[in-house]
Amino acid sequence: MVDGPDRLAGTDAMKFKKKPVVIDATQWFKNGDHSEDYSSDQDGFEGGDLRVFTGAERKLKGWEGDIVRYFRRPDVDGETACRHCGVRMHEHGWIDTKEGGFIVCPGDWVITGVQGENYPCKPDIFAVTYEAACLDLQGPGGAEVVHGPHLWTADETGDHCKVCGDGVWGRHRFQGPCEIQPDPQGRTP
């Protein structure tokens, strides 16, 4: 239990905000959509012989992914409509987590958490919880450059934000208007 001056007397209900943590996420629509689904080779049998199948071979053969596996539960018919999205269960994925398995509906985001764990997130929850993150990798002038909330790129038209196309420092976003303001470190694009 958290205790301190902000704790309300007589209640365990408190307000918290998420720490600003950058996560990786992939929107999933069908088997093989996750970028890590075929990132490793696996042993398997072919013609009675054990051999190594590369990730590329596994993807070409339509094998299930490593992160989002095929949905399969003996108690649920694959033709049943999902209670969350209405799509038949045969078109869903499944993620195993420490807390148990989770159904992945087409369109769900698959998040890789801070400890490398994967879990699904509904698109509406994802939209209000996350925004595109940009990390300080270089400065303007690189092939693809990001700074703070900016996403900068350099091409034949010069240095600019990939979101709004502006060449001015500010809070550039994928959703909503960009807020132009001076760079706090005095840099210019």
* Residue type at 41 in one-letter notation: D
Residue-wise pLDDT tens digits, 107-162:
999 999 888 899 999 999 998 888 877 554 444 444 343 334 444 444 445 555 55
The count of other CB atoms within 10 Å of the CB of residue 109 is 20
CB contact at 8 A, 89 and 77: yes
CB contact at 8 A, 140 and 157: no
Alpha-carbon distance 115 to 138, whole Å? Answer: 26
Q: Taking Cα atoms as reference points, which of 74, 75, 111, 80 lies closest to residue 95?
A: 111
Alpha-carbon distance 140 to 130, whole Å? Answer: 25
Residue-wise pLDDT tens digits, 160-170:
555 555 554 44
